[in-house]
A and B are shown apart, each in its own frame.
Chain A
C-alpha cells in the first residue's frame, strides 16, 4: 500500500517534466506536483472547443454570478490583476501592483497604455473608473458588495487610477484579481447599458461573436489585442456539456478539445487514453458541512437560538466532527482524487499555514455526547444536493456518524429549493461548497462573520469577528498570516462549519492541443494555446 503514493508521485512528476503525459492517475499527490501548463510549441490557426460543466449566466462582469462565466471571461475580458500559478497577484490590465497608502485607505495604480477594447475604444484610467462605477452603482450588481469598501473612484491622470476607501481593506486587491477587476469597454457600456451581455466588449485575446443559450459561446481572435502575437488559435468555442460522461465521450471522439471541471469519476474513466492529457490544480475553495447554530429567521437577520442538540452544545458538534474520517471520505466518494480539508484557508496560498485535521476518534465522540447529556442516537437531518456524488457523500457521513451515536437522515434537495431553505434557516445541516479566493478573507469574512451575507448557519463568535476585522485592516503579510492562523483555530473550535475536503480542479485536454494554462484559481486559460504540429484544427 505504501508504494502506491510513491508511484503516483513519480507518475505526476514525469507528466510534469515531459509536459505531455497521457491521462495518468494524479492521486493524492497532485497537490504537491500539480501540472498547470502544457508548454509544447504550437502552430497558428484552428478552433478549440472547450466543454463547460454548466451554462454561463450573463456575459456581463457586473451582473454575472457564476464561476463558469469567469472561465469564458479569461478569453475575452481581462482584469486589473490576475493570479499566477503560485497564487500570487500579478498585474494584468493594471501596469503596477497598487500603492496602498493612508493607512490602507487609498489604492493607487497605473493601467496599461497599449491596450484597446474589442470595439476599438482605448483602455485608460477613465475606462477603468467607468467600469468600477458601474460595478458599484448598477442595480443588481453582483460586484457592489465585493467592493463596497470603495468610497470614490478617480482617474487622477490619463493612466492612473485612485481608489479611496471608507475603511482599510487589504483583501480588496484579491477582489480586483477576481470578477470585480474585469474591465468593460466604456463605449459598449454607453451603447448597450444593462444589455451589455448581448454585445460584451473587453480587452482580451479573443472577442465575442455569438452565443446560443444552453449550447455555445463563439469567440474569435481579436486583432486589436495588445498581446496578439502570442495568440495562436483563430477561434474558441465554449460548449455547455453538463454531464461529465458525455463531456469525456466528446473529448475522446475529438469533438471537444478541452474539458473543464472534470469530476474524479470521469478522470479515472479516461485514464489510459493516450490521446488525452491531464492538467490539475488544487482548488482555492472548500467543501464543508454547515450546521445551523443560529439561523432562525433568515441569513440576513440577527442570529437566534436554534433549539437542537447541535445548536445548544458545541460538544455535540465536536463529537459529530470527530466521527468523520476525511481521508476515507476522499477515498470512498472521490476516488482519492481530492484532498481532505480542515480549514478555510487554501494551502499553497501566500497567507496559508499548515492545519492538522482532528482525525476520527469515535471513543472521544461518544464521551463528548455523554458529557453533553444528550440522548443517543442524536437525530440530524442533512440536506444534500441531488447529484450522485453528494448522495454518496451523504451516505458515507451517515454511516460514519452512526458509529458515534448520531442518526443522520438524508434529504436530497434540488439546488434552488435547497438554497432558499438554507438562507431562510429552514435546515439543520447541509453540505455545500465555496468557490474560493486566494486571499483568505474571501473564504472567511462573509461565511462565518456574524453579519456575513453567506453565514448560512449564523455562527456568531466575538473572537472570530474581532480577527476578521484585524485581517481586513492589516497590510503586513506576516501579521496577516498569524491572524488567519488564529482565525482558523477559532472557527474550528466552534465546529459549526465542518470543513471536509478540497476539490482539485481537473482539466482534460486532447494531446493535439498545447499551451493551455490552468492557474491557481482553477480557470483554464487558452490565450497561448494552439495545435501542435500534425494536430487537427
Chain B
C-alpha cells in the first residue's frame, strides 16, 4: 500500500512539473503566435474610421511599442498573480470574461460527454452483441451519420425543428443551472446533441470494435466454459476490458470536445470559450486570446492526467510510472 502511495505521489509530482512546464511553453508559443498574426493590433481595435493619434495612444496603453520579450515578461509577471490583463476591446478584465465563459463550455462539454458515453457505449455493445443483425446495421448507420454531418448544419437543422417548428427547446443563449435548471437544460440540450453526436459515433465504433475483439478472446471463452451467464460474460469480462480502449479514445476526444465547442457556441449563441476565442482572435485582443488559450491548455493537461489515473483504476495491470 505504501509503495503504491509512494509511486502515486512521485508520479503526480512529476506530472504536475510537466504540466507547469507545458503551460510555460504554451504561453510562449501563444504569445509569439498571436503577435505573428498579420494585421496591426491597434488598427484592428480602433477600426477603419480612426486617427493616427488614437492608434499611437492604443499602442502606448497596451505596451505594443515595447520589445516582445519585455511584453512577455510583463504578461507572465502579472499572470502568476492571477492578473491576465484587460481586454483591449471591451476594457473589461480578461479573467472576469473567462470566468463567465468557462462554466458554460464545461457544462456543455459535460452534457455532450454524458450523451456520447451513454449513447455511444450502449450502441457499441448492441452492435457487437447483435453482430450481423439489423440492430448492428442501424447502429453503424447512425454512427456514420453522426461523424459525417457538419456541426453547423446539424445545429441549424435542430434549431429549425425543435426551436422554431416545434418550440420545445430554445434557439440560443444560456441561463445558469443555479438560476433556473429547467431553462438551463432547455437551452443546452440541442447544443449538447450537436457537440456530442460526433463523439458518440466515435465511441460507438470503438466500443463495438473492442467488444468484438474481447468476445473472441481466450478469457471470454474461458468464462463461458466456466458456465457464466451471457450477461455476466459481456458485462463483467468483455465490457470491462473494452473500456480501457474506450476511455483512451474519450480522453483524446475530450480536448476536441472543448475545441469543437467553437462552432456549436457560434450556432447556439452560447457565450462560452469558443465564442470568446473567435471574437478575440478577430479583434487581435491579445490578452483575451492568451488567457483563453492558457485556460484551455490547463484543461487539456488536467484531462490527460485524469485519464492516466483512470487507467490504473480500471486495469490494475497498468502500473503508474511504468515500474
With A57-B45, A142-B46 given, is the CB distance from A211 to B171 under 8 Å? no
Residue of B nearest to A432 (CB): B48
**What is the minimal beta-carbon distance from B262 to any residue of chain A, in angstroms?**
12
B149 contacts the other chain (CB 8 A): no
Segment among B158-166, B197-205, B300-308 that sits at the interface with chain A = B158-166
Given contacts A241-B172, A415-B282, contact A253 B48 (CB under 8 A): no
Residues of chain A contacted by B283 (CB below 8 angstroms): 57, 416
Of the residues A55, A242, A253, contact of B167 by C-beta under 8 Å: A253
A243, B266: Cβ atoms closer than 8 Å: yes
- Given A65-B45, A250-B172, is A414 in contact with B54 using a C-beta cutoff of 8 Å? no
B100 adjacent to A65 (CB under 8 Å): no
With A63-B91, A197-B90 as contacts: A239 and B269 at CB distance below 8 Å: yes
Q: Which of A145, A243, A245 contacts B54 (CB 8 A)?
A: A145
In the complex, A435 Cα to B49 Cα: how many Å? 9
Q: Does A191 contact B (CB under 8 A)?
A: no
The answer to whether B92 touches A198 (Cβ under 8 A) is yes
Expressed in whole angstroms, the minimum distance between the Cβ of B122 and any Cβ of chain A is 31
Bound CA span A141–B267, Å: 35
A141 and B91 contact, Cβ closer than 8 Å, known pairs A212-B100, A241-B172, A250-B269: no
Considering the complex, give the chain B residue whose CB is closest to the CB of A454.
B49
CB-CB < 8 A to A215: which residues of B? 100, 174, 269, 271, 275
Chain B residues 42-61 with CB under 8 Å of chain A are: 43-54, 57-58, 60-61
User: Hey, what's the 0/1 contact readout for A250-291 against B, CB within 8 Å counting as 1?
Assistant: 101111100000000000000000000000000000000000
> Is B315 part of the contact surface with A, judged by Cβ < 8 Å?
no
Give Cα distance in the complex from A215 to B103, angstroms. 14
Q: Which of A194, A197, A250, A423 interacts with B171 by CB under 8 Å?
A: A250
Say yes or no for A377: interface residue by CB 8 A criterion.
no
**Is residue A101 contacting chain B, with contact meaning CB distance below 8 A?**
no
Q: Check: B119 CB closer than 8 A to any chain A CB.
A: no
Q: Name the B residues within 8 Å of A241 (CB-CB).
A: 172, 269
A-contact 0/1 string along B154-195, CB 8 Å cutoff: 001001100110010011111000000000000000000000
On whether the beta carbons of B172 and A256 are closer than 8 Å, the reply is yes
Interchain nearest-CB distance for A248 vs B (Å): 10
A65 to B, closest residue via Cβ: B47
Q: Is there an interface contact between B269 and A417, defined as CB atoms closer than 8 Å? A: no
The reply to whether the CB of B82 lies closer than 8 angstroms to some CB of chain A is no
- Any A CB within 8 A of the CB of B208: no
Residue with the greatest number of chain B CB neighbours at <10 A, chosen from A66, A240, A245, A416: A416
A195 and B96 alpha carbons, distance in the complex (Å): 15
Q: Nearest chain A CB to B95's CB is how many angstroms away?
A: 11
Minimal beta-carbon separation of B231 from chain A (angstroms)? 45
> Is A216 in contact with chain B by the CB < 8 A criterion?
yes
A300–B51 Cα gap in the complex (Å)? 9
Most central of A65, A241, A242 by chain B CB within 10 Å: A65
Chain B: how many interface residues by the 8 Å CB criterion? 51
Q: Is B38 an interface residue (CB 8 A)?
A: yes
A254 contact set on B, CB distance < 8 A: 167
**Interface presence of A120 (CB below 8 A):** no
Q: Which residue of A lies closest to B40 (CB)?
A: A420
Determine which of A197, A245, A454 lies in contact with B92 in the assembled complex, contact meaning CB atoms within 8 Å.
A197
CB–CB A140/B48 < 8 A: no
Scan residues 194-244 of chain A and give those whose CB is less than 8 A from a CB of chain B. 194-195, 197-198, 211-216, 239-243
The answer to whether A246 touches B172, judged by C-beta atoms less than 8 angstroms apart, is yes
Please name all residues of chain B whose beta carbon is closer than 8 Å to the beta carbon of A255 when the two chains form the complex: 163, 170-173
Assess whether B35 is interfacial by the CB under 8 Å rule: no
**Once bound together, how far apart are the Cα atoms of A250 and B97, in whole Å?**
24
Contacts of B279 in A (CB 8 A): 55, 213-214
Interface string of A291-325 (1 = CB under 8 A from B): 00000000010000000000000000000000000
* Complexed CA–CA distance, A214 and B53 (Å): 27
Instruction: Tell me whether A76 is interfacial, beta carbon within 8 Å.
Output: no
B105 at the interface (CB under 8 A from A): no
In the complex with contacts A241-B269, A432-B48, A214-B275 CB distance below 8 A = yes
By Cβ-Cβ distance, the 8 closest A-B pairs, closest first, are: A215-B271, A416-B39, A140-B57, A416-B44, A145-B51, A253-B171, A197-B91, A417-B39
Jot down 8 A-B pairs with beta carbons below 8 A, ordered by A. Answer: A140-B61, A145-B54, A197-B90, A212-B100, A241-B269, A242-B266, A416-B41, A418-B39
Which residues of B are interface residues toward A (Cβ below 8 A)? 37-41, 43-54, 57-58, 60-61, 87, 89-92, 97, 100-101, 156, 159-160, 163-164, 167, 170-174, 266-267, 269, 271, 275-276, 279, 282-284, 288
Known: A140-B61, A254-B167, A255-B173. 17 other contacts (CB 8 A): A57-B45, A59-B90, A63-B91, A65-B46, A65-B49, A65-B50, A195-B91, A212-B271, A213-B87, A214-B97, A246-B266, A250-B171, A253-B159, A255-B172, A256-B172, A418-B39, A420-B40
Residues of A within 8 A of B (CB): 55-60, 63, 65-66, 139-142, 144-145, 194-195, 197-198, 211-216, 239-243, 245-246, 249-250, 252-256, 300, 414-420, 423, 432, 434-435, 453-454
